[in-house]
Amino acid sequence: GSIIGIIGGGQLGRMLAIAAAQIGYRCHIYAPEDTPCAADVALRHVRGDYADIDALTAFARNVDVLTYEFENIPADPLHALAAFDLHPNATALELAQDRLSEKDYILGHGGRPADYRAISTLADLETALAEIGTPAILKTRRFGYDGKGQARIGDSDGAAAAWAKIGEQPAVLEAFVPFGMEFSILLVRGRDGEIRLWDAPENRHEHGILAHSRVPGGGIIAEQKAAAGDLARTVAEALDYVGLLTFEFFAGADGPVFNEMAPRVHNSGHWTIEGAFTSQFENHIRAICGLPLGDTNLAASRVEMDNLIGAEAEDWMRWLKTDRAHLHLYGKGEARPGRKMGHVTRLYFD
Ligand code: ATP
Ligand code: MG
Ligand code: MG
């Protein structure tokens, strides 16, 4: 079978490699770590820096198709891989790794982000706060994940502290959205342009980290998921996107508010491994390999996914003793606070 090259070695790469193996494909992993958790289940691990164009090119030569599972790869080396079969394309990655260009793009395609301003200096921040009001959230344009690189501003006195907290780097200020619920849209687009969506999970975050996803979501999500899904389709087509694309939304009082997008498989889609007829991981592999896409329908009446974060993974044995619970552990070493160690998916047949 063909060999898939995955750039990035975390749990997303691990679950992609497992899905690939199920349908007879093998994976090579490119990651800088000595023991990335994806390498445990891959044919080969090439250790290299994400900015090392020569090493990436050598990696690309030994695989049939290339993908990535980590959105903070520098875009230039990925553009340099344009001669290879790379999906999703480097343009999609470049767009999604900058919160400002991402929000501009969404606005330009009919979506509605929270009111936002570009910030380059403390003076910009003070001006923007006067326009947007408080509460507001200051976020670095790049490299944020799991709520890192963000500062909440409750009143205008907090401007200097927030600017210092995020390291005085290019940022966006966005209005705080008083949402009732959060949800995501998981979309896959094939090489032939076919698009399929899964049902939209309702997501709950704790300390900025995804804690829980459930499908179907609450009533307000049922009302808003069609509009959110339409935006997702429009963007996927405009980007000529191939693979799994994720959009996070707040269910606002006047409809879905776009939060951010991720050009990859997503934590809020882990429930699809057992909870849908085809998982996000398998459909990503199918898409990038030019295979027919699989059925994204629910395989139960309800599905719930809980992340095991830090010490929560210590008592993993209890999940082995629980019927209809599917335990996933990522084989990471140390259970540092805030680190995603695994997850549990439970199916319900009401
Ligand atoms: P991820 O790990 O999803 O990439 P991230 O670091 O990119 O996270 P965001 O998705 O921007 O962070 O924010 C994390 C969470 O913080 C959101 O899911 C939401 O719960 C809350 N949050 C972020 N922005 C806002 C906002 N403008 N209004 C209200 N809550 C917000
Ligand atoms: Mg993010
Ligand atoms: Mg997010």
Q: What is the DSSP letter of 201?
A: P
Residues in the chain: 350
Whether 186 shows a pLDDT value over 70: the answer reads yes
| Mean of pLDDT over the chain | 96
Contact 100, 141 (CB under 8 A): yes
Q: What is the pLDDT of residue 156?
A: 59
Task: List, in order of start, the domains of the chain with CATH numbers.
Answer: 3-86 (3.40.50.20), 115-175 (3.30.1490.20), 181-348 (3.30.470.20)
Return all residues near 315 (Cβ < 8 A) that are at least 6 apart: none
**Ligand 1 atom at minimal distance to the Cα of residue 144:** 6
**Ligand 1 atom at minimal distance to the Cα of residue 137:** 27
Return all residues near 84 (Cβ < 8 A) that are at least 6 apart: 60, 61, 66
Whether 306 shows a pLDDT value over 90: the answer reads yes
Site residues for ligand 1, CB cut-off 6 Å = 114, 137, 139, 144-148, 174, 176-177, 182, 205, 208, 248, 259-260
Average pLDDT over residues 188-196: 98
Q: What is the pLDDT of residue 1?
A: 62
The pairing of beta strand 255-262 with beta strand 325-329: unpaired
Q: How far apart are CA 198 and CA 248, in angstroms?
A: 14
- To which H or E segment does residue 313 belong? none
Most ligand 1 atoms within 8 A of CB, residue of 106, 185, 259 to mutate: 259
**Ligand 1 atom at minimal distance to the Cα of residue 209:** 2
| Tens of pLDDT, residues 223-251 | 999 999 999 999 999 999 999 999 999 99
Please report the ipTM that was assigned to this predicted complex.
Answer: 0.98
Kindly tell me the sign of the dihedral angle through the C-alpha atoms of 44, 50, 55, 61: positive
Dihedral, CA atoms, 175, 179, 182, 183, nearest 10 degrees? Answer: -90
Residues with CB under 5 A from ligand 3 (ion): 248
| Tens of pLDDT, residues 10-58 | 999 999 999 999 999 999 999 999 999 999 999 999 999 999 999 999 9
| Tens of pLDDT, residues 130-178 | 999 999 999 999 988 888 899 999 975 699 999 999 999 999 999 999 9
Of all protein residues, whose CA lies closest to atom 26 belonging to ligand 1?
176
Return all residues near 217 (Cβ < 8 A) that are at least 6 apart: 181, 183, 199, 200, 201, 202, 225
Whether 255 shows a pLDDT value over 90: the answer reads yes
Calculate the alpha carbon distances from 329 to 12, 289, 308, 343 in Å: 12, 27, 8, 7
Ligand closest to the CA atom of residue 137: 1
Least confidently predicted of 6-10, 223-227, 332-336: 332-336
The pTM assigned to this predicted structure is 0.97
